[in-house]
Amino acid sequence: MFQSAQVGYDHYYRMLSDRVRMEAFRSAIRRSVRPGDTVVDLGAGTGILGIWALQAGARRVHAIEQTEAIELARQIARANGVEDRIEFIRANSLEVELPEPADLLVSETLGSFALDENLLRFLPDARDRLLKPGGRLLPGAIRMFVAPAEAPQSYAKVAFWRDRPGGVDFSPAFDLFAGKIMVEGIRPAQLLSAPAELEPVDLAGWQGDGYQWRGYLQMRRAGTVHGMAGWFEAELAGETLSTAPDRPATHWKQAFFPFREPIRVVRGDVLDWAVEVGGLGPSSDHTRIDYRYRCTQLANEAQAGKPGRNAPCPCGSGRKYKKCCGA
């Protein structure tokens, strides 16, 4: 009998076939688990992190997953002879209570921009309620980076909705997608400035479920900014998992924040970019990511007359032109 699937599992295929991801987490779990540990697998999915923890010497695993994938995880654990050492909990982790605090919390609830699976809502809560004082975390910290990108092929996926496909006005779709994060492969040569590092997230001490950052990025060559590329580094028991454009490719690729309109820039132009991340709801796996930007147009300003050395910089930084874009 043919039975239609209730949940799509393509994303699990992409994760499990990502050798960079798999080797990084497996090695980190081997280094982190101590004999007899109790482990929480937060957002367990297929349960592979918990199985690795048991193979590394853990005594028991509490696998928390709020989708029906938890039943697949149970079957996989049974096939591997470890079902009796894993407690399978189908629930939102915010509502879970454990019979004992855990020694180690492992989680791979990372989006292409690290925080876009509401990591800051669920992980700190689990850390504070489900771990022993001084319990260990994988990952332990997250660093994020951004740079303006010349990415016409990625931007074309947004501009498509403005081109009246099928002769129909799809402008509401353009308005929606022109402000939504995309998952794209960005090459180092597409970056128009040096990367900027955002405020790092120390998951052992982070408080609150929101995140904000604002910075200024100066162009090192002329080109067209189609959006902002973003990526992350995760600290895994002393090793670093990176999704940077110049590192081996992963299923995360890079985050791409498309601009509504491409911006022509010259060397020395400064982009002012700000991002705010927050949950869509108290129990949602998804996040609200808002970003805003503005950019100097030195080519146009040269025609109109360059600002004086002591005049405020046109990029809006609040500094004098000679100390900022005119440096």
Decide: residue 309, CB within 10 A, 0-12 exposed, 13-18 middle, 19+ buried: exposed
Q: Could you tell me if 109 and 123 are in contact, meaning their C-beta atoms sit under 8 angstroms apart?
A: yes
> Which of 83, 93, 15 has the alpha carbon at shortest distance from 54?
83
**Catalytic-role residue among 65, 117, 184, 233:** 117
**Catalytic-role residue among 65, 68, 97, 108:** 108
Residues 55 and 208: their CA atoms lie apart, in Å, by 34
117 is catalytic: yes
* 225: phi then psi, degrees, rounded to nearest 5: -85, 115
Q: Could you tell me if 51 and 28 are in contact, meaning their C-beta atoms sit under 8 angstroms apart?
A: no
Residues 128 and 113: their CA atoms lie apart, in Å, by 24
In three-state secondary structure terms, 23 is helix
Residues 75 and 193: their CA atoms lie apart, in Å, by 48
Report which DSSP code applies to 320.
B
| Residues labelled catalytic | 108, 117
